[in-house]
Structure 1
Amino acid sequence: MARIEQKVRTLVSEDAEMETVIETILDRADETGEVKWVDVREDISSGQWGRLIEKGILIDGETGFRLDDPEATRDALEDETVTASSSDGESSWSKWDKGAAVVSIGLFAGYSWAPMRNLIGSAMNVALGPLNSMLPFYAVVMILAVVTGLYSTILQANLMDSEKMGEYQAKMQEIQEKRKAAKERGDDEALDRIQDEQMEAMGDQMGMFKEQFRPMVWIMFLTIPVFLWMYWGVGIGANANPVFDLQPLVLPLVGEKAWTAQALGPIQVWIVWYFLCSMGFTQIIRKGLNIDISPTGS
């Protein structure tokens, strides 16, 4: 059954330990293909046993449980792609992702360290300076908001697996529902099994966090230099002077304000203007490109 093979591959790709669990069950099964919990409980947790039943890999037998299709299960374990999938599932981050994360963290120093901010601002000005000389600064910020919104959307769409995210969320929701049902009927044995599942699912939560954060690393890697250029040009920071000749900006409901004036609490005008433009254009870009980054179920 191809269906069973796929279930086994998926289960092993989500949790590499399940390969050993299934091999143990294959070894302990009797002549009829059946195995009892008492025969394997020393080597398999109740949560792992429950997952096999939940996925339909183990089904009811005459005196215990049996593998729905032992041959298909063996074929799935022998397939070399299972091991490859398991390795990929442990970390979807490449060396380039990790390198971008390190550089992005380092770039954060530019917000508080003037020498780095001045260096990056001057370097970025080689590319952005001509644009800034042709257009008013508010228009330059609008263009930057469009560009950053475009590559942010594309990076999120290509680097974040929304289907896998949906699977993580659906799994956690399913565990919560099973826990609630077990509490209502007072099934302590089921609660213990569900507790084991929750502990195992913590690895899935880490995987979900990695999926969410991976595109953010590249977005920060590309966007922080743009922000540092604006910091440098507007004159943000201790003893900083504006490099650009800036005219006051008129904001809705606020009126005419200097770029470094406070608009919303401590938030200054320039960053409010950037985020207003960014949020608006990003929504237009997503609609125009028909890109949905919301988690989806498989």
Structure 2
Amino acid sequence: MPGEQLEALLENSAMREALSTVFERSEEGNEEVQWADVSDALSSGQWGRLIETGVLVSGGTGFTLANPERVRQTLEEHGHRSSGAGVEEIESGSWAWYDKAAGVAALVLFAGYWNTGIRDIIASFDNILLAPITELLPFYAVIIVLAIVTGLYSTVLQARLMDHEKMQAYQERMKDLNERKEAAKDRGDDEALEQIQEEQMEAAGDQLGMFKLQFRPMVWIMLLTIPVFLWLRWKVRGGHLGVGETGLIVPLAGAVSWQEPLLGPMRTWIVWYFLCSMASRQIIQKTLNIQTSPSTSS
């Protein structure tokens, strides 16, 4: 139907509410709808007028919206909120100055993987703090303790710093666009496809917004985790292990040294640390009931 005719129809608030009901109960134009589906919210006169004006057209066993995307757009212009509305209202999270400072510091620490001077300075400072633990526990147990500690603050930081509501809003928006695109393809609606593709282009900034939301807690996690990892590397590769601290016994592999490749090119100490870290994070999340990812709706 012509856009002017649809606009004129929606000038009437009662018809606007009637069309909103049909739009929602037809799964935003993706499903057919029958009189029995909306009779509790529409009068027979309103139903007949929607058919008479061409808003609803005959389908297989019921009626379907002639142009769902135009109906969606017109309803949104009149203040109707559908699942695909409100795209502009999701603001990208901005980093505070201390987040940016933490990011710069994390980059400097990250350079320690290649720069021996930076690595030695950081590891030497860490060694002062960790010396009491290394004197009491064997090296494999020290790695377990460090994995538990890093797993704890990583889980807490990710849960506290991640904006789960915005992440879920981003994900739901992209899911809605994809579902509408597939529905438009199924019914061969080229006009709707073109409009949805334009919306997807406008929503391209969502990827950047999601990246910023996800990377903010990672910056703080790296700021605390990298020094621990550099100390472990300094301890193993720098020859600072105690007497008898040669490695550990691994199922199937047997006795392996800390510097020996265990999983592909990954050395034993790295594999052991990651296994302990992943296990501790899972236990911590379940024990403290901490959510680190946005909930997904079915």
| Greater share of helix | 1
Counterparts of 1:52 and 1:97 in 2: how far apart (Å)?
43
Which residues of structure 2 form unaligned runs of 5+? 1-7, 14-68, 82-87
Shift of 1:180: 1.1
Shift of 1:133: 1.3
* Cα gap change, 1:147 to 1:271, in 2 (>3 Å): same
Shift of 1:57: 3.9
1:157-236 residue pairs with structure 2 within 5 A?
157-235=159-237
Amino acid at match of 1:296: S
Match of 1:242 among 239, 242, 245: 239
| Residue-by-residue CA offset, 1:145-168 (whole Å, 9 max, x unaligned) | 000000000011011122221221
SS of equivalent residue, structure 1 residue 296? coil
CA contact (8 A) 1:165 1:296 kept: no
Counterparts of 1:181 and 1:137 in 2: how far apart (Å)?
58
Amino acid at match of 1:114: T
Shift of 1:297: 4.9
Aligned pair count reads 225
| Residue-by-residue CA offset, 1:86-126 (whole Å, 9 max, x unaligned) | 7x933331111111111111111111111111111101111
| Residue-by-residue CA offset, 1:225-267 (whole Å, 9 max, x unaligned) | 00111111111xxxxx311222321122321111101101110
Counterparts of 1:51 and 1:230 in 2: how far apart (Å)?
61
Counterparts of 1:52 and 1:114 in 2: how far apart (Å)?
64
Counterparts of 2:187 and 2:269 in 1: how far apart (Å)?
57
1:82 aligns with none
Shift of 1:56: 5.2
RMSD: 2.6
CA contact (8 A) 1:167 1:296 kept: no
CA contact (8 A) 2:177 2:200 kept: yes
1:144 aligns with 146
Amino acid at match of 1:158: R
Amino acid at match of 1:195: Q
1:257 aligns with 256
Shift of 1:210: 1.1
* Cα gap change, 1:281 to 1:226, in 2 (>3 Å): same
SS of equivalent residue, structure 1 residue 89? coil
Bigger radius of gyration: 2
* Cα gap change, 1:266 to 1:57, in 2 (>3 Å): same
SS of equivalent residue, structure 2 residue 249? strand
* Cα gap change, 1:252 to 1:173, in 2 (>3 Å): same
Which 4+ stretches in 1 moved above 2 angstroms?
Answer: 50-58, 66-69, 88-92
Counterparts of 2:190 and 2:232 in 1: how far apart (Å)?
59
Shift of 1:294: 2.4
Provide TM-score, normalisation by structure 2: 0.69
* Cα gap change, 1:154 to 1:68, in 2 (>3 Å): closer
CA contact (8 A) 2:93 2:213 kept: no
- The answer as to 2:137 corresponding to 1:135 is yes
Provide TM-score, normalisation by structure 1: 0.69
Shift of 1:132: 0.6
- The answer as to 2:77 corresponding to 1:100 is no
Which residues of structure 1 form unaligned runs of 5+? 1-28, 35-49, 59-65, 70-84, 236-240
Counterparts of 1:137 and 1:250 in 2: how far apart (Å)?
13
- Tell me whether 246-255 or 110-119 shows the greater mean CA deviation: 246-255
Amino acid at match of 2:278: M
Amino acid at match of 1:170: E
Identity percentage over the alignment? Answer: 52
Amino acid at match of 2:225: T
Amino acid at match of 2:249: V
* Cα gap change, 1:168 to 1:90, in 2 (>3 Å): closer
Counterparts of 1:104 and 1:208 in 2: how far apart (Å)?
20
